[in-house]
Amino acid sequence: MDLDFTPEELAFRHEIRDWVARNLPPDISRKVHGALRLTKDDHQRWARILGARGWLGWGWPPAFGGPGWNAIQKHLFEEELAMAGAPRVVPFGPVMVAPVIMAFGNAEQQRRFLPGIASGEVWWSQGYSEPGSGSDLASVKCRAERQGDKYLVNGQKTWTTLGQHGDWIFCLVRTSNEGKPQTGISFLLIDMKSPGVSVRPIVLMDGEPEVNEVFFDNVEVPAANLIGEENKGWTYAKHLLSHERTNIADVNRAKRELERLKRIARTEGVWDDLRFRDQIALLEVDIVALEMMVLRVLSAEKSGKQSLDVAGLLKIRGSEIQQRYTELMMLAAGPLARAHIFEAMDAGWQGDLAFPASILPLASVYFNHRKTTIYGGSNEVQRNIVAQTVLGS
């Protein structure tokens, strides 16, 4: 196993670094480095910049307009973006639904949907979970009834991240109650501007309306929006979930946030506390170990070896690390960490100068990160999957 980068790979890294330095808007990277609130406009501005360069679909093959990078190049690209303070690309379009459309969609669907994803113009949402159907996803009840050349959709989705901005939503819908629950699910693309679609925000404990309930009330969806075959949606859904879980691990963001934790610890005077520095060292060891795991997977891919399916493992370790650095940031801030001021997440907020700027968003970020061990499939359920893979069922 060779974990060193070749001279060509290092040259590639520098090319990306130069481009990002010239193209990432400084007001956006300032927000990311300070963990401040990103607006829809911030996300879309950056998505369009990447899209214009042909890099929003950085994992896509050339046949679909992607750069055709290998696994190492993709990793280097993601690392350079994260360290420079680029926002995480909202994954639902380019990382999640696009690979499904490429693998299972027909030529017409590829022609119709992929360009809007690649350019950053169209905002996608994920409609998998429902009340009572999260871990037990195969029990989804949102019903799509075939009526001639359209489906009539009735039901509800929930926890739909940033669904308030969504133009389109990809949904798991029930098209049959025959046989096993998995065999009656279909994968449908729904225009969120269709009559009968309504979106209601759910405010999380950091005060942000980050997730939503989405209701479908007699929504007419052209049958041409069905991906692949009716009742085969479970297969396509699983294809997408491994992309989602690997994306959540996000070791590059952890590296950037580790540096921020060190800055906060120095500013707040706990850097000299050996016990506290031990905690930072332990976290750093775990981040390096996660990075090694990612590089091992990439190295195996590069040498054409079959690698273990580690999406679940990466999700567990990555999400736990994300929670730990937010906890250590709170500890470093001590009593000041209590401040949870919703408005302070806005760039340029001047409301209470008694608090150091680095401290203000900590409570919000801490609260927000409680989600990481739940979404994308809870960590308990991931552990079951890993156990089955390693030990057999």
Ligand X SMILES: Cc1cc2nc3c(=O)[nH]c(=O)nc-3n(C[C@H](O)[C@H](O)[C@H](O)COP(=O)(O)OP(=O)(O)OC[C@H]3O[C@@H](n4cnc5c(N)ncnc54)[C@H](O)[C@@H]3O)c2cc1C
In the complex, the residues that contact ligand X under the rule CB under 6 A are 126-129, 134-135, 159-161, 211, 371, 374-378, 380-381, 384
Nearer to ligand X by C-beta: 339 or 381? 381
Nearer to ligand X by C-beta: 308 or 387? 387
Nearer to ligand X by C-beta: 198 or 378? 378
C-alpha to C-alpha distances, 337 to 281, 328, 334, nearest whole angstrom: 21, 11, 6
Nearer to ligand X by C-beta: 12 or 159? 159
Nearer to ligand X by C-beta: 204 or 300? 204
Nearer to ligand X by C-beta: 169 or 293? 169
* Burial label, 157 (beta-carbon count in 10 A; 0-12, 13-18, 19+): buried
CB-based contacts of 166: which residues, under 8 Å, 6+ apart?
123, 124, 125, 160, 192, 199
8 Å CB contact between 56 and 89: yes
Residue 103 C-beta: closest distance to ligand X, Å = 20
Instruction: Kindly state the tokens that stand for 6.
Output: 């070749």
Handedness of CA 313, 317, 322, 326 (dihedral sign): positive
Residue 24 C-beta: closest distance to ligand X, Å = 26
Residue 374 C-beta: closest distance to ligand X, Å = 4
Residue 285 C-beta: closest distance to ligand X, Å = 27
Residue 132 C-beta: closest distance to ligand X, Å = 7
Amino acid of residue 3: L
CB atoms within 10 A of CB 12: 19
Residue 166 C-beta: closest distance to ligand X, Å = 10
Burial 354-390 (b: 16+ CB within 10 A, else e): eeeebbbbbbbbbbbbebbbebbbbbeebeebbeeee
Whole-number Å distance between alpha carbons of 94 and 47: 10
